[in-house]
Amino acid sequence: MSEQPLIRLQGITRGYRDAGVNRQVLRGIDLQIRSGECLALLGRSGSGKSTLLNLLGGIDQPDSGQIEIAGERIDQMPEPRRTRFRRRHIGVVYQFFNLISTLCVAENLRLPLELNRYPEPEITARVASLLEQVGLADRARDFPDQLSGGEQQRVAIARALAHRPLLLLADEPTGNLDAETGRQILDLLTGISRGERQTLVLVTHSLQVARRADRVVTLERGSLIQGATEVAW
Q: pLDDT tens digits, residue range 38-82?
A: 999 988 888 889 899 999 999 999 999 999 999 999 999 999 999
CATH architecture of the domain with residue range 36-61+79-225:
3-Layer(aba) Sandwich (3.40)
d(CA 119, CA 107): 15
Q: Is 233 helix (H, G, I), strand (E, B) or coil?
A: coil
Q: What is the pLDDT of residues 113-164, one digit of tens each?
A: 999 999 999 999 999 999 998 899 999 999 999 999 889 988 999 999 999 9
Residue 159's H or E segment, with its range, is helix 149-161
The answer to pTM > 0.85 is: yes
Q: Do β-strands 5-18 and 21-34 pair in parallel, antiparallel, or remain unpaired? A: antiparallel
- Contacts of 34 by beta carbon, 8 Å cutoff, 6+ apart: 1, 2, 3, 4, 5, 6, 199
d(CA 159, CA 185): 14
The predicted pLDDT at position 3 comes to 61
Question: Residue 13 — very low, low, confident or very high, per pLDDT cuts 50/70/90?
Answer: very high
Least confident range from 22-26, 85-89, 113-117, 226-230: namely: 226-230
User: Mean pLDDT, the chain, as a whole number?
Assistant: 88
The predicted pLDDT at position 227 comes to 56
